[in-house]
Structure 1
Amino acid sequence: MERVVHSRIPLEQGAILGVQSRHGKAAEDFTNAFLENSLPRLNASAIEDLMYRKAVVLEYARPKKKRKQKKAKGLNAKERRRLKIFQLKPEHQKYELFLPLHELWKQYIVDLCNGLKPESNPQMIQQKLLKADFHGAILTVVRSKCPSYVGQTGILVQELKHIFKIITKEDKIKVIPKRNSVFSVEIGDFVTHIYGSKFELRSSERSAKKFKVKGTIDL
């Protein structure tokens, strides 16, 4: 079998590379041996066919498979309760500590509702408030099936799926169930009411939920 796949290296390049070019029978024997070693699965006839008809890849590295990164496992409900993740430390239960949060919340709501102007559409504002984050808002219970909750007012410091946690001016944490309660929210001269049953979702879930326009719900 004759394969003409070699040529002599120019003398000047051989001097730079530090190699001596082979020619004649020695070059042919070296080339044949190199191809057979590089393509061990092919016989001489198949190698010759490749050399004259197809491109030959002498080195091939398979792409490394990307390893799937394991997602960090979060804490379960039992672990969160044990570590008291959702409990405010006694030294943090001070009304005045949350006044800056309330000021930030007021600005957030004004921006969300495009200024709360007198000519603003009440229905549009209600739809935006249903999806808003109320951490920092001053909530007042105006109606409830449990009379002891009525009149309770404070800054919302924590919202869970079924409850609001507010801190009063007396530095007391009050837990108010959302269901069967109506809350008033004051934003400057603007006062609105929210029905707790509409808020029986986590705040993150509520922001993505589509609410249907319905009438008021009696307790």
Structure 2
Amino acid sequence: MNEALVRATIPQDLVKVLGVEPRTDSQAEAFTRSFLKNGIQPNSRTDLNSMLSHKAVVLGYARPKKDKSKTKSKRAKGLNARQKRAMKIFHIKPEHQRYELFLPLHELWRQYIIDLCNGLKPSCSPQFVQQKLLKADFHGAILTVIRSKCPSHVGTTGILVQEFKHIFKIITKEDRLKVIPKRNSVFAVEVNGFVSHIYGSRFEQRASERSAKKFKTRGTIDL
């Protein structure tokens, strides 16, 4: 605010309307001293002259209100499981359920596993490869069900296109999408002649959770 406006005198036409009368400097000083003296506690050591000379007198203060719109978190909230199902995010359209469409994904997975296992050389021990496969992502792998509580699943072979916590979704050479439960099922996966068995009951986790999990070292590892 401009200091000149603060010190400006009240216009004459507003004096009667506001019910105020102009005061001289001496009258204003006397009023200020009297006002401060009444506000100071009797036993206070505060010097009135020091207060008038060196300290600002705050007659009123109102804390500015915070803009609530700015305090809201800017982090976008993800969709929950129900919303994802309603939007069919994980739904594979029938025209996309073709084995040949996922063959490039399988080739990428093979190269990923070979790089992960340091080239899958003959010198690599089975325990080393199994440890790597425990945390690997299997999207694109060709899985074969070799044992299952459901006999109709045994012998099913296809490319893994989706992995969830409790199920594998694979596409067969007959262009059929099969949903295989992990529990009570054993899968075989082959990479460059190396065949490993995956025990689905121990894979009941999402791929992202499995990659971060610490597995205990054992003499033999049942995948």
Q: Which band: TM-score by shorter chain?
A: 0.5 to 0.7
The equivalences for 1:166-185 within 5 A come to 166-185=170-189
Partner of 1:118: 122
Is 1:81 paired with 2:89?
no
Q: Which runs of 5+ in 1 are unaligned?
A: 1-41, 48-65
Aligned partner of 1:134 among 135, 138, 153: 138
Is 1:149 paired with 2:153?
yes
The equivalences for 1:51-66 within 5 A come to none
CA distance in 2, matches of 1:99, 1:212: 34
Aligned partner of 1:201 among 182, 198, 205: 205
CA distance in 1, matches of 2:172, 2:221: 28
CA distance in 1, matches of 2:173, 2:164: 21
Q: Percent of counterpart pairs with the same letter?
A: 73
Q: Which runs of 5+ in 2 are unaligned?
A: 1-49, 56-69
Partner of 1:45: 53
The ranges of structure 1 where at least 4 consecutive aligned residues each deviate by more than 6 angstroms after the TM superposition are none
**Post-superposition CA distance 1:9-44 (Å, at most 9, x none):** xxxxxxxxxxxxxxxxxxxxxxxxxxxxxxxxx945
**Post-superposition CA distance 1:141-192 (Å, at most 9, x none):** 0111221111000000000000000000000000000011111001121111
- Superposition TM-score, scaled by structure 2 size: 0.67
Is 1:162 paired with 2:170?
no
Root-mean-square deviation (CA), in Å? 2.3
CA distance in 1, matches of 2:181, 2:217: 23
**Post-superposition CA distance 1:91-138 (Å, at most 9, x none):** 111100000000000000000000111111211211110100000000
Contact 2:135 2:210 in 1 (8 A): yes
TM-fit CA distance, 1:213: 3.6
> Which SS does the other structure have where 1:207 is aligned?
helix
Is 1:108 paired with 2:116?
no
CA distance in 2, matches of 1:138, 1:161: 18
- Superposition TM-score, scaled by structure 1 size: 0.68
> Which SS does the other structure have where 2:188 is aligned?
strand
